[in-house]
């Protein structure tokens, strides 16, 4: 309970006005005393009762994706009347001042009032929404009563998954690379069935007769193509010379990993995930998609050189002709040796290299700085397919022109 100084000042001025209007000092003192005492007593009683029985419940989606709009519904109720109540909720996945949401109730008379707001979840991870704070200075603005209502809700925010069709060059590069690897593998190719045509499918695989009957493109699917294994190796090692808690380059790599993951699941791959000293064996379908997204939602950078363990796991569990998509911000001589070992094992390696913002030398599109050009060369010499990124720019085409 807090006394409002502005309101007290107002009543002192009122007292002076009353004094000026009375001739008899005794009558004035009695009248003023009764008036002020009554006002203070009533204010105190109403301020205590106003939100003492206030309760709240919250309804919110348990799972969402980064940068999606989330709707939050609050329901407030009380056994006794409540008036002029300021309600404040804390939406923790938002950024900065957007985390605090202020709402207002004019009157709550033993009924339920529903309030709602919408906010963008800009941060990935698992968050606890709340608590709800209620504040009222009714009546007469003399006392301010605050209550903290311990109402919490959990929400899991997956990393943003970008439809790769929105990045034509990216879609073309990754899909074409992976599908080319699948269709050039030898062995039995027994006919399995048909499915809808997808971006990157070979024109030769289209069943034109069935497509004409169904009035849509369908492709022949062969047994060898089903259940093919693609691994994502995700780099969680902190970059050298980077001590920032929030690393833009790392967050971008998380978004790329989530987007590649969904793209490969949508293309019927069995997708596995390797990060740190842990891994998930390949599988297909929505269950596998969300199992890996759960890990990407909570993944953080680590100080230790755990990337080497990831490469060791890749060498041990990936089989010949598997596809390994590496998403990394770090490269050194030791990592290059692991990539060469993977290539020697006949594992098809696609290396998405995110150029760290802390990298020495300014990255100019034309020409590339010599240091970055050398780093790209080192990766290419291993036999891996390289697709470098800097911020939001795919610079593979520029790099290839420079070769």
- Of residues 237, 236, 283, the one with CA closest to residue 261: 283
Could you list the pLDDT tens digit for every one of the 403 residues in the chain?
554 554 555 555 555 555 555 555 556 666 666 666 666 666 565 656 656 678 889 999 999 999 999 999 999 887 766 667 788 899 999 988 788 888 887 777 667 888 899 999 999 999 999 899 888 765 555 557 788 888 999 999 999 998 776 556 666 666 666 766 665 544 445 555 677 877 666 676 788 877 887 788 887 765 444 446 899 999 998 876 555 555 788 899 999 999 999 988 888 889 999 998 999 999 988 999 999 999 999 999 988 888 999 999 999 999 988 999 999 988 888 999 999 999 999 999 999 988 876 554 455 555 556 777 788 888 989 989 888 887 666 655 444 443 3
Tell me what pLDDT residue 17 has: 53
Residue 230's φ and ψ, nearest 5 degrees, are: -125, 130
Tell me what pLDDT residue 386 has: 86
| DSSP string covering 217-259 | -EEEEEGGGTT-EEEEEE--BPPTT---SS-HHHHHHHHHHHH
Tell me what pLDDT residue 207 has: 81
Tell me what pLDDT residue 249 has: 85
Helix (H) or strand (E) holding 328: strand 323-328
Task: Give the separation between CA 152 and CA 114, rounded to whole angstroms.
Answer: 17
Tell me what pLDDT residue 229 has: 84
Specify burial of residue 254 (Cβ count, 10 A radius: 0-12, 13-18, 19+).
buried
Sheet holding 54-60, edge to edge: 54-60, 69-78, 112-120
Task: Give the separation between CA 75 and CA 146, rounded to whole angstroms.
Answer: 18
Tell me what pLDDT residue 291 has: 95
Identify the structural domains of the chain with CATH numbers, from first to last: 1-158 (2.60.40.10), 164-187+227-402 (3.40.50)
Provide the 10 A C-beta neighbour count for residue 227.
12
Tell me what pLDDT residue 399 has: 47
Tell me what pLDDT residue 231 has: 95
- Of residues 272, 363, 383, 373, the one with CA closest to residue 323: 272
- What the block records as the tokens of 204 is 């030769």
Tell me what pLDDT residue 225 has: 47
Task: Give the separation between CA 98 and CA 123, rounded to whole angstroms.
Answer: 12
Cβ–Cβ < 8 Å for 19, 32: yes
Tell me what pLDDT residue 218 has: 81
pTM of the model: 0.74
Mark residue 198 as left, alpha or beta (left: phi above 0; alpha: psi -120 to 50; beta: remaining): beta
Mark residue 272 as left, alpha or beta (left: phi above 0; alpha: psi -120 to 50; beta: remaining): beta
Residue 44's φ and ψ, nearest 5 degrees, are: -65, -45
What does each C-alpha distance from 233 to 162, 163, 298 come to in angstroms?
19, 20, 16
Tell me what pLDDT residue 373 has: 78
Tell me what pLDDT residue 187 has: 43
Cβ–Cβ < 8 Å for 230, 264: yes
Quote the crossing angle between the two packed helices 370-381 and 333-344, to the nearest 10°: 30
| DSSP string covering 45-79 | HHHHHHTTTEEEEEEE-SEEETT-EEEEEEEEEES
């Amino acid at each position: 309970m807090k006394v409002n100084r502005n309101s007290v000042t107002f009543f002192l001025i009122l007292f002076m006005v009353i004094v000026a209007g009375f001739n008899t000092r005794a009558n004035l003192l009695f009248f003023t005393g009764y008036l002020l005492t009554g006002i203070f007593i009533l204010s105190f009683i109403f301020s205590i009762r106003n939100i003492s029985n206030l309760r709240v419940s919250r309804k919110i989606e348990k799972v969402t994706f980064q940068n999606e709009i989330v709707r939050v519904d609050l329901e407030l109720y009380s056994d006794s009347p409540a008036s002029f109540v300021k309600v404040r909720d804390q939406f923790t996945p938002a950024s900065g001042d957007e985390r605090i949401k202020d709402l207002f109730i004019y009157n709550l008379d033993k009924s339920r009032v529903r309030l709602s707001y919408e906010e963008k979840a800009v941060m990935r991870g698992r968050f606890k929404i709340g608590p709800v704070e209620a504040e009222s200075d009714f009546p007469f603005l003399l006392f301010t009563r605050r209550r903290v209502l311990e109402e919490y809700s959990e929400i899991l925010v997956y990393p943003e998954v970008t439809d790769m069709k929105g990045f034509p060059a990216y879609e073309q590069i990754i899909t074409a690379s992976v599908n080319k690897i699948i269709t050039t593998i030898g062995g039995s190719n027994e006919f399995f069935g048909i499915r809808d045509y997808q971006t990157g499918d070979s024109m030769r695989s289209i069943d034109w007769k069935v497509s004409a009957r169904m009035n849509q493109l369908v492709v022949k699917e062969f047994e060898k193509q089903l259940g093919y294994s693609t691994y994502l190796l995700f780099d969680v090692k902190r970059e050298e010379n980077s001590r920032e808690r929030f690393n833009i380059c790392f967050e971008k790599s998380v978004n790329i990993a989530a987007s590649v993951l969904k793209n490969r699941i949508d293309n019927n791959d069995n997708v596995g995930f390797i990060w740190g000293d842990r891994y998930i064996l390949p599988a297909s379908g929505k269950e596998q998609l969300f199992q890996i997204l759960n890990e990407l939602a909570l993944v953080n950078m680590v100080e230790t050189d755990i990337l080497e363990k990831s490469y060791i796991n890749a060498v041990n569990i990936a089989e010949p002709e598997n596809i390994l998509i590496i998403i990394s911000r770090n490269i050194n001589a030791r990592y290059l040796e692991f990539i060469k070992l993977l290539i020697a094992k006949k594992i098809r390696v696609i290396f998405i290299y995110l150029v760290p913002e802390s990298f020495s030398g300014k990255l100019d599109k034309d020409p590339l700085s010599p240091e970055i050009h050398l780093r790209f060369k080192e990766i290419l010499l291993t036999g891996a397919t390289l697709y470098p990124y800097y911020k939001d720019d795919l610079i593979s085409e520029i790099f290839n022109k420079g070769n």
